[in-house]
Amino acid sequence: MTKDQLRQRLEFYQDLGIKTIYRRSIIERAMPANSQPPTPVLSLPTLEPDHDTLFKIQQDIGDCKRCVLHQGRNKIVFGSGNEQSKLVFVGEGPGADEDQQGLPFVGRAGQLLTQMIEGTAGKEGIPIKRPDVYICNVVKCRPPENRTPQPDEMEICGQFLYRQIQAIKPKAICALGGTAAKALLGAKEAGVTRLRGKWHTWRDIPVMVSYHPSYLLRPYNQNAKKEAWEDLKKVLHYVYD
């Protein structure tokens, strides 16, 4: 079993809520089948390399060709912002503007997200700007025609997203849209409308689900804007108060 396969297996066990594993010793393997000696209990090792950093993660991604998304990309969009931020925003994937610039949320949706972060913080008396938070996506390459990432694409890129979050160790995460919620919470059926406004957890880190800014740009979703602002207020006060 390769190191990557072992990592995926351990991640699967952790998602099931398994915290410990049992290892059979060499002596135990040689004993008769009916014998039941005490078996040492081991804590599951962490899935991230020791002393992981965003720089190391980006190096490990390299010129990634692990899934089909690399075929149409211009640039890998790793993430941007304060690498020691207390708050991480997670979106779905890069769009056309992001693919050209290599930075997340720089198009129309990104401009709205910036306005929301800085506008809400200003009104609530919280002295932060967009560069003070960290922003990344579930997948690092633009899906064709901005389609929703496929499960295998999310799984492959998810290992790097998880490492990013673990390296930053934020106080909270804001998941923007259904894809980010699914990647972090495993939410398969419940949509953003049901998940938003309430706290969830990812590996003991509080997660607030809200609407993706691109959803808020659509004319018929104006009512969702107020809800998104409320979500953001909760996150900002929790993190920075």
pLDDT digits (tens, 9 = 90+) for 122-133: 999 999 999 999
Domains in the chain, start-ordered, CATH in brackets? Answer: 3-43 (no CATH), 54-240 (3.40.470.10)
Give the pair of three-digit tokens for residue 160. 């790097």
Centroid of chain to Cα 78? 12
What's 148's DSSP letter?
P
Instruction: Measure the CA–CA gap between 218 and 236, rounded to whole angstroms.
Output: 25
pLDDT at residue number 7: 62
Is the pLDDT at 14 greater than 70? The verdict is no
Looking at the DSSP assignment, which residues form a beta bridge with residue 202?
205
What angle do the packed helices 3-15 and 151-168 form, to 10 degrees?
80
pLDDT tens, residue by residue, 165-181: 999 999 999 999 999 99
Q: Which phi-psi region, left, alpha or beta, contains residue 197 (left: φ > 0; alpha: ψ -120 to 50)? A: left
Sign of CA dihedral 24, 28, 30, 32: negative
First to last CA, the chain: 46
